[in-house]
Amino acid sequence: MKIKRLLFIAIAVMLMGTTASASGFKFGIKAGANFNSLHFSEEGLKNDFKDSDNRTGYNLGVMCEFTVPVIGIGVDASVMYVHRPTLETQDGSQKFKRDYLEIPVNLKYKLGLPAVSHIISPYIFTGPSFAFKMSKSEIENLINDKKCDIAWNLGLGVELVKHVQIGASYGWGITKIVNKIAKEGEPAGTGRNNCWTVTAAYLF
């Protein structure tokens, strides 16, 4: 059912793109990898899990973009299925799945290069992302999860032949995504997700 919902959203975005007549509007497909690090507020909480730094996940979905002609300033938005690495306790007895429906919205600026802008156009972008948890899981008597993860992204990329975009960004977690279930005599703890993301998109 989750995949069906994602496909429905993808089709809806594409249909909007085919009916849009505004100059500078594009839509397409997007996929990539994410490299996640969980940052805990309390060291003991980090020690409860196997290594949670720089672990690889993946993302795929659809995106649309509107750029104001000539000046190169625009916005883009995506709807992405994001799989982040599963958290696992040190003894391997419990796992915490982390699958999200993520919606990043960015302000983007394309640097027009004289004579070659139709072949290659570097760009920079920044903006928030809103990730809604799709998987239902928690680690009993240890942590519980939050349903929404908000981050702020900053990145750069390059557009090739007006259709292919390759970009990389870093996202700083703003909200806490896990809470430690406090026990008597132990401090509470929280965790935030920071993430490198590398994507490739094809825009029609």
Which helix H or strand E contains 200, and what residues bound it?
strand 190-203
The reported pLDDT for the residue numbered 21 is 41
Domain count, the chain: 1
How many CB atoms within 10 Å of residue 200? 14
pTM of the model as a whole: 0.81
* Domain of 51, in residue numbers: 2-203
Tokens linked to 74: 């625009």
Return the structure tokens found at 92: 């391997």
The reported pLDDT for the residue numbered 115 is: 79
pLDDT digits (tens, 9 = 90+) for 57-85: 999 999 999 998 878 899 999 999 999 88
For residue 106, what are the contacts with CB-CB under 8 A and spacing of at least 6? 75, 76, 77, 125, 126, 127, 153, 155
Q: How far apart are CA 148 and CA 90, in angstroms?
A: 26
Instruction: Round to the nearest angstrom and report the end-to-end CA distance of the chain.
Output: 27
Q: How many residues does the chain have?
A: 204
Which of these, 119, 123, 103, lies nearest to 168 by C-alpha position?
A: 123
Nearest of 148, 146, 157, 149 to residue 111 by alpha carbon: 157
Asked whether the beta carbons of 153 and 124 are under 8 A apart, the reply is no
Q: 174-183 as b/e, with b when 16 or more CB fall inside 10 Å?
A: eeebbbbeee
Q: CB-based contacts of 46: which residues, under 8 Å, 6+ apart?
A: 38, 40, 52
The pLDDT score that the predictor gives to residue 184 is 55
Q: What pLDDT does 4 receive?
A: 55
Extract the residue ranges of the chain whose pLDDT is less than 70.
1-23, 42-47, 51-54, 137-142, 180-188
Which CATH number is 80's domain given?
2.40.160.20
